Amino acid sequence: MDGHADDAVPLGRLLIIGGGEDRCCGAGLLERFVELAGSDRARITLVTTATGIPDEVHAEYERVFRKLGVERTRELRLRGRADADGDHAEAILREATGVFFSGGDQSRIRALVGSRTNDVLRQRLDDGLVVAGTSAGATALGRTMILGGEGSEVSAATVRTGPGLGLLPKVLIDMHFAERGRLPRLLSAVALEPDHVGVGIDENTAILVTGSHFEVLGSGVVTVVDAERSTVVHPAGDYDPITLFDVRLHLMPAGCVFDISGREPTIGPAHTRY
Amino acid sequence: MDGHADDAVPLGRLLIIGGGEDRCCGAGLLERFVELAGSDRARITLVTTATGIPDEVHAEYERVFRKLGVERTRELRLRGRADADGDHAEAILREATGVFFSGGDQSRIRALVGSRTNDVLRQRLDDGLVVAGTSAGATALGRTMILGGEGSEVSAATVRTGPGLGLLPKVLIDMHFAERGRLPRLLSAVALEPDHVGVGIDENTAILVTGSHFEVLGSGVVTVVDAERSTVVHPAGDYDPITLFDVRLHLMPAGCVFDISGREPTIGPAHTRY
């Protein structure tokens, strides 16, 4: 991976996890996050905005990160726009080497979009900050985030989207992907925004973004749907099926690499799972 | 639709239904079948080989077809290879204008593959016979049929296939498609046989094949997956994920037309649902 081919793409690394990451044993994906953030010199901030049970979530990640050699995990709760625009948030984020967005309900993260916190994260990515997110915290990192919707049909009614934190331009993330059968939802989302690459991440699986490439890590598969050159015919009704021709679909297990700018997958040199 | 562009494709028409077809009210797809078979002059044979309850299934279709103007529906039970190679089967099939394969368990239809019944059906398609199948009776019509398997991963373990009746060359049919989330299964099947076009048919939805084209009918969508130009990397283990790049995927609601030889979808002139 050659870093950044596209000027619009920040230098920093993003670790975007499809939820359900292993938290015991080797703790594969989380171990990788800690390594990227500096191992025992890592200063990790956990953003618990998405969850309704921040104390439990903080305790749980602190336990895992401590096991991995991180002494203290700071929590940033960010309960609304005032918090996200505040000095406290900025100070904590400027100190961190790794920021981790917990799961929960991604609609709670909407208050952060366009905030000072959002700006600081974007700037600090260029200085080598590592930003990770799992589940709700994963989809929030894209320019557009999936807010909800379920269904077996590809239609406007199957998905709800909104602006995301935009740390990864032109990408639309979905998660718990194979486990919850979400391909119809991701196809619905890219049919509505064909300039975005749709990236569906299985549980205990992640993409590690460096520059304009990502590598697949973990035990599952990353599904990429690319409708950039597709024929899309929208029906009159939101519940009627969308006609969609010529979607490119890629199924990428661990070790595969995707060039986001060029929209091309390759079999990567690494085939380890973590 | 211009009939037959490819010499390998028979002239006759196939109506391949994804299961769960409407049997009351206008009875859309079944009404279309009866029309194609000659309306009140239709001589319909119901093949109940797949089902474990042939008497009930025969009574049910006879009721529906009678409502649609067909006086009598003959049943062909074909309980094994001897039946399928027998004079009785041939005589009945030579008389029919329409043959309908019921649902059930497609593995029961395996005994018919390569039989005299299979030969007669193939010959008579060239004389204008209409052959229909629903659910198990749908997948059996392809050259390869899906025998079973379920799963959310694309892997060899997700699908079991075997030779089908081959009335539609180079096509692999799956059914109850969106309803049962079977895209992983169909992708697994085409990853194993990339020269076959994968066609997933929703319930109360059908493809009407004429020559080397098909048109989509009914209330759902037909999903086409084309891995002819894909990169496929098979893992060592049957349960490990298959790497699959550059699958072409098309979602085709009613009125869309697919050129099987050229592997191209088009927005058809018709947009009626039946």
Confidence of residue B23 (pLDDT cuts 50, 70, 90): confident
**So what's the pLDDT on residue A272?**
45
Structural domain contains residue A74: yes
Q: Is A34 helix (H, G, I), strand (E, B) or coil?
A: helix
Question: For residue range A224-274, what is the model confidence (pLDDT) as tens digits?
Answer: 999 999 999 999 899 999 999 999 999 999 999 999 999 999 997 655 444
A75-105 b/e (C-beta count within 10 Å ≥ 16 → b)? bbebeebebbbbeebeebbeebbbbbbbbbe
**So what's the pLDDT on residue B86?**
97
Give the span between the Cα atoms of B19 and B105, in whole angstroms. 12
For the cut 90, the answer to whether the pLDDT of residue A178 exceeds it is yes
**So what's the pLDDT on residue B7?**
43
Structural domain contains residue B272: no
Say if the Cβ atoms of A249 and B244 lie within 8 Å. yes
What residues of chain A lie within 8 A of the CB of B153, using their CB? 178, 220-221
The CATH code of the domain that includes B217 is: 3.40.50.880
Instruction: Confirm if B16 and B135 have CB atoms less than 8 A apart.
Output: no
Structural domain contains residue A1: no
**So what's the pLDDT on residue B81?**
97
* Min distance B240 CA to chain A CA atoms (Å): 9
Structural domain containing residue A96: 13-260
DSSP letter string, chain B: --S-SSTTS-SSEEEEE-S----STT-HHHHHHHHHTTGGG--EEEE-TT-S-HHHHHHHHHHHHHHTT-S-EEEE---SHHHHTSHHHHHHHHH-SEEEE--S-GGGGGGGTTSHHHHHHHHHHHTT-EEEEETHHHHTTEEEEEEE---SS-SGGG-EEEE---SEEEEEEEESTTTTT-HHHHHHHHHH-TTSEEEEE-TTEEEEEETTEEEEEESSEEEEEE-TT-EEE--SSTTSPPEEEEEEEEEEETTEEEETTTTEEEE-S-----
Structural domain contains residue B216: yes
Instruction: Confirm if A70 and A124 have CB atoms less than 8 A apart.
Output: no
Question: For residue range A190-235, what is the model confidence (pLDDT) as tens digits?
Answer: 999 999 999 999 999 999 999 899 999 999 999 999 999 999 999 9
For the cut 80, the answer to whether the pLDDT of residue A11 exceeds it is no
Structural domain contains residue A177: yes
- Cα A55 → chain centroid: 22
Confidence of residue A25 (pLDDT cuts 50, 70, 90): low
Q: Any chain B CB within 8 A of the CB of A220?
A: yes
Structural domain contains residue A112: yes
Q: Any chain A CB within 8 A of the CB of B157?
A: no
Cross-chain CB nearest to B233 (options A152, A249, A267):
A267
Confidence of residue A12 (pLDDT cuts 50, 70, 90): confident
**So what's the pLDDT on residue B236?**
86
The question of whether A153 is a catalytic residue gets the answer yes
What is the ipTM metric for this complex? 0.89
Mean pLDDT of chain A: 92
Structural domain contains residue B4: no
The question of whether A60 is a catalytic residue gets the answer no
**So what's the pLDDT on residue B27?**
66
Q: Any chain A CB within 8 A of the CB of B267?
A: yes
Q: What is the mean pLDDT of residues B252-259?
A: 96
What residues of chain B lie within 8 A of the CB of A221, using their CB? 153-154, 241
Give the span between the Cα atoms of A256 and A133, in whole angstroms. 20
Domains in chain A, number: 1
**Angle, nearest 10°, between helix axes B116-126 and B87-95?**
20
Structural domain contains residue B233: yes
**So what's the pLDDT on residue A124?**
95
Cross-chain CB nearest to B183 (options A153, A183, A220):
A183
List of long-range contacts for B25-30, beta carbons under 8 Å, 24+ apart:
B26/B274, B27/B64, B27/B67, B27/B68, B28/B204, B28/B217, B28/B218, B28/B219, B28/B273, B28/B274, B29/B204, B29/B205, B29/B206, B29/B217, B29/B218, B29/B274, B30/B64, B30/B65, B30/B68
For the record, the structure tokens of B272 come out as: 């009626």
Say if the Cβ atoms of B251 and A187 lie within 8 Å. yes
* Min distance A222 CA to chain B CA atoms (Å): 10
For the cut 80, the answer to whether the pLDDT of residue A169 exceeds it is yes
Location of structure tokens 């990192």: A141
What residues of chain B lie within 8 A of the CB of A256, using their CB? 243
**So what's the pLDDT on residue A273?**
42
- pTM value is 0.91
Minimum mean pLDDT range among A20-24, B43-47, B143-147: A20-24
* Min distance B266 CA to chain A CA atoms (Å): 8
**So what's the pLDDT on residue A4?**
37
**So what's the pLDDT on residue B25?**
63
